[in-house]
């Protein structure tokens, strides 16, 4: 991934509060179409202690989308020891909202400094204030879903995909060993292959059926005239990028990352 110092004046607004993110650390404010990084370290996420994930719905989230998220949570809970609980006063939690797209952080971000005090045109790009001291902290992290059946025809599966990000999983097609299974047109997408990292682990064989894999033709094309994003190396007949259910590989990796006796780890996974 190219880490360029480029300033993006981007804010995420909620009906009951406003939280600003400084994306000056990254070339793209949203990476690989649906991932947000913590400033300074894309591998800073951790697991949720004891597999318990507090969350709350933003007031702008429709009943339909809430039901999709609840179904997605139930599907994950039924296959693992992870438990999603409505937030009461927990410091660290997921804020589920509708920012007209799907995206999430990877892993628990925890209580952190979200305002850098970096100014542009007299205003802090972290909080938008002129008198910023750079001391705004929060344990909230955003997860966005939306109602767009043309782009996201499987809302429950898409919600599962984002929840898996929040639990600590990266895209399957960013694994270090992906080139054995895929040919990626790097001239037409931003699907950078991650190299080995001490905080990131591959669990099991490469899983083309993973809910964390994108479809072969899905993503942000950098050039619409340049065909193709990914194609299989083999002639294997398989639907890549399904959003119907967790694959066997997803379930195995989920239970590896969150065993029934889990507590806390600086670790994120590919399935």
Whether residue 2 is contained in a domain is answered as no
Pairing of β 93-97 and β 52-57: parallel
Question: Residue 234 class from Cβ within 10 Å (0-12 exposed, 13-18 middle, 19+ buried)?
Answer: exposed
Whether residue 129 is contained in a domain is answered as yes
Tell me the CATH number at 134. Answer: 3.40.390.10
Give the range of the structural domain holding residue 228, as residue numbers without chain letter.
11-258
Sign, CA torsion 160/163/164/165: positive
More confident residue, 188 or 248: 248
Q: Which of 76-90, 151-165, 232-246 has the highest mean pLDDT?
A: 76-90
Catalytic residue among 27, 49, 77, 162: 162
Q: Is 162 a catalytic residue?
A: yes
Confidence of residue 22 (pLDDT cuts 50, 70, 90): very low
The pLDDT of residue 1 is above 80: no
Enter the pTM of the model: 0.78
Whether residue 267 is contained in a domain is answered as no
More confident residue, 141 or 93: 93
Domain count along the chain = 1
Can you give the pLDDT at residue 5?
Answer: 25
Name the DSSP class of 83.
Answer: E
In sequence order, what are the residues at sequence separation of 6 or more whose Cβ sits closer than 8 angstroms to the Cβ of residue 152? 102, 146, 158
Confidence of residue 11 (pLDDT cuts 50, 70, 90): very low
Whether residue 5 is contained in a domain is answered as no
Whether residue 270 is contained in a domain is answered as no
**Residue 158: alpha-carbon gap to chain centroid:** 11
- Per-residue pLDDT reduced to its tens digit, 98-143: 888 889 989 998 887 766 566 667 666 555 666 676 667 788 888 9
- Per-residue pLDDT reduced to its tens digit, 227-263: 456 677 776 778 888 999 999 999 999 999 999 865 5
The answer to the question of whether 165 is labelled as a binding residue is: yes
Whether residue 93 is contained in a domain is answered as yes
Whether residue 95 is contained in a domain is answered as yes
From residue 78, how far is each of 38, 161, 249 by CA, in Å?
30, 15, 15
Whether residue 240 is contained in a domain is answered as yes
The answer to the question of whether 197 is labelled as a binding residue is: no
């Amino acid at each position: 991934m190219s880490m360029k110092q480029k300033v993006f004046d981007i804010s995420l607004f909620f009906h009951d509060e406003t939280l600003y993110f400084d994306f000056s650390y990254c070339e793209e404010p949203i990476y690989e179409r649906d991932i947000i990084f913590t400033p300074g370290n894309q591998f800073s996420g951790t697991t949720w202690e004891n597999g318990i994930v507090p969350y709350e719905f933003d007031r702008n989230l429709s009943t339909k989308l809430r039901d999709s998220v609840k179904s997605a949570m139930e599907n994950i809970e039924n296959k693992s020891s992870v438990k999603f609980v409505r937030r009461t006063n927990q410091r660290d939690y997921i804020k589920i909202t509708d920012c007209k797209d799907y995206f999430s952080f990877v892993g628990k971000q925890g209580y952190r400094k979200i305002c850098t005090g970096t100014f542009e045109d007299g205003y802090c790009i972290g909080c938008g204030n002129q008198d910023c001291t750079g001391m705004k902290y929060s344990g909230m992290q955003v997860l966005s879903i939306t109602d767009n059946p043309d782009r996201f025809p499987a809302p429950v599966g898409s919600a599962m995909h984002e929840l898996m990000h929040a639990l600590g999983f990266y895209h399957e097609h960013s694994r270090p060993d992906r080139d054995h299974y895929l040919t990626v047109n790097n001239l037409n997408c931003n699907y950078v292959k991650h190299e080995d990292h001490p905080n990131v682990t591959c669990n099991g064989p490469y899983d083309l059926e993973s809910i964390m894999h994108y479809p072969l033709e899905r993503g942000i094309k950098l050039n619409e005239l340049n065909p193709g994003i990914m194609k299989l190396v083999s002639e294997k007949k398989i639907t890549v990028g399904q959003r119907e259910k967790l694959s066997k590989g997803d379930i195995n990796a989920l239970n590896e990352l969150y065993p029934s006796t889990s507590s806390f780890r600086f670790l994120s996974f590919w399935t």
